[in-house]
Amino acid sequence: MPKNYDIAELKRLDVKHHLPAQQDWKLIEDMGGSRIITHAEGCHITDGEGNRILDGMAGLWCVNVGYGREELVEVAAEQMRELPFYNTFFKTVTPPTVLLAQKIASLTGGKLQHVFFNASGSEANDTVFRMVRHYWKLKGEPKRTVFISRWNAYHGSTVAGVSLGGMKFMHEQGNLPIPGVEHVRQPYWFGEGFGEDPVQFGKDCAAAIEKRILEVGPENVAAFIGEPVQGAGGVILPPPGYWQEVEAICRKYGILLVADEVICGFGRTGEWFGHQTYGFTPDIVPMAKGLSSGYLPISANAVSSEIVDVLKTGGDFVHGFTYSGHPVAAAVALRNIEIIEREGLVARTRDDTGPYLAKALATLKDHPLVGEVRSVGLIGAVEIVAEPGTNTRWGGAEGTAGPIVRDLCIANGLMVRGIRDTIVMCPPLIITHAEIDTLVGIIAKSLDEALPLLQAL
Ligand code: PXG
């Protein structure tokens, strides 16, 4: 049973002592503290006021197997009793770590046969940064140091993560990006290619990568990094053919291809990994979130044998974290993957719930506020516009309508994110048809309620 918390006191203490992530602390103070989430079950979270909310965000794009999985609790407790911690620095390792590496290698398949562990998605991308540069140095091409990424990409919140990412508002804090990261346009058809042929638009976006490679000099470019689907950027689905073009460009200039699968991994797009959905083969795959369904912090990098063979010529790779390969997190991740397999959640997302979500979202298309709906697997988005048939935004600038609709959705019992004027969702992979109907029904109701508010602006 959930504990009987003194919610008012917790809120007071929250304001007084707690500094929440990526947040305006003054705003939280003015609100009298954050919403306190006390417990959760299946696809629903419950807050301190007793509101039961459908979690359309799976926590933060991560609780793929849903809340309340007793066997994950048990496996964590068992592992803690047996061995709560040991490191991988002292020529030592623990059983769950080895077994999880093997499991991940079997899921990524092909040349991605080696796994490096970290505790977060950001750390996984820091690992990319150091591993890729070290690789090129050992390979005798030390000038290859430049990473190419995309504007509006999200690769984490550490110095390397923010730098690799393309969030300008994050770059503004901390004098980032660090040198050696180049950003090119994103394949965001609705926002930046509206009215153009989508396939041609995708080709143009890929061509921008090649153009930048030539400007920087191919001999200086180390890797291209991208999320198969940009999540935090607003669920940006690449146009058909985009990733094939990107892959061909990387191969043409001998540049490593990194697929950041932190959100797309573990069934989200209807395959184990987003690169499998989009049909391309990366050299390094950072992953996190769905790896443990968020039950414990853990991330990993699947790495190609070719890269590992080169790194093996260089002695120690002096990189790694105290919690690299944490045995409890690894044991939970292993069992989490077992649950995804046992319940067939990947195929169910591809063949059943994913198409069902797409059909349900399509019913919103005729709403006067909706410019586009899109989804792949169980990750989707609704674009809010001022005029049907256009991509014109309310108030003439992005970010007016999104927060209004998002807040109405939450008040109506659905947790979603509003990214600029895009409502995004990625529910747990266990979501049922009835819960998908509720999810889309609450968005429809919230759009109806938002319309007069927006008209009155
Ligand atoms: N890569 C991708 C693709 C991500 O989505 C990270 C790396 C970083 O992971 P960690 O575990 O270090 O947070 C992420 C994280 C949002 C939001 O606003 C998205 C993320 C994190 C926080 C907020 O949607 N994604």
- Residue numbers in the chain where pLDDT is lower than 70: 1
Please tell me the residue having the least CA distance from ligand 1 atom 9: 121
Q: Distance (Å, rounded) from C-alpha 244 to C-alpha 187?
A: 13
- Is the Cβ atom of 262 under 6 angstroms away from ligand 1? yes
For a ligand 1 pocket test, name from 117, 127, 154, 295 the mutation site with the most ligand atoms within 8 angstroms of its C-beta: 154
- pLDDT tens per residue across span 346-360: 999 999 999 999 999
User: Which ligand 1 atom is nearest residue 232's CA?
Assistant: 24
- Is the Cβ atom of 288 under 6 angstroms away from ligand 1? yes
Decide: helix, strand or coil at residue 443: helix
How far, in Å, from the CA of 82 to the mean position of ligand 1?
32
Whole-number pLDDT of residue 280: 98
How far, in Å, from the CA of 441 to the mean position of ligand 1?
27
- Is the Cβ atom of 291 under 6 angstroms away from ligand 1? no
Pairing label, strands 146-150, 221-226: parallel
Whole-number pLDDT of residue 396: 78
Whole-number pLDDT of residue 213: 98
* Neighbour count for residue 174 (Cβ, 10 Å): 11
Would you say 238 and 228 are in contact if contact means Cβ atoms under 8 Å apart?
Answer: yes
Please tell me the residue having the least CA distance from ligand 1 atom 1: 155
User: Which ligand 1 atom is nearest residue 264's CA?
Assistant: 3
Would you say 423 and 402 are in contact if contact means Cβ atoms under 8 Å apart?
Answer: yes
Q: What is the pTM for the complete model shown?
A: 0.98
Domains present along the chain, CATH in parentheses: 35-65+345-455 (3.90.1150.10), 72-342 (3.40.640.10)
User: Which ligand 1 atom is nearest residue 57's CA?
Assistant: 24
Whole-number pLDDT of residue 1: 60
Whole-number pLDDT of residue 446: 98
How far, in Å, from the CA of 156 to the mean position of ligand 1?
5
How is residue 67 annotated by DSSP? Answer: B
How far, in Å, from the CA of 58 to the mean position of ligand 1?
13
- Is the Cβ atom of 58 under 6 angstroms away from ligand 1? no
Please tell me the residue having the least CA distance from ligand 1 atom 16: 232
Q: CA angle 440-427-373, nearest 5°?
A: 45
User: Which ligand 1 atom is nearest residue 261's CA?
Assistant: 3
How far, in Å, from the CA of 25 to the mean position of ligand 1?
20
* Cα–Cα nearest to 264, from 388, 372, 354, 362: 354
For a ligand 1 pocket test, name from 117, 229, 262, 275 the mutation site with the most ligand atoms within 8 angstroms of its C-beta: 262
- Is the Cβ atom of 442 under 6 angstroms away from ligand 1? no
Cα–chain-centroid distance for residue 274? 11
- Is the Cβ atom of 120 under 6 angstroms away from ligand 1? yes
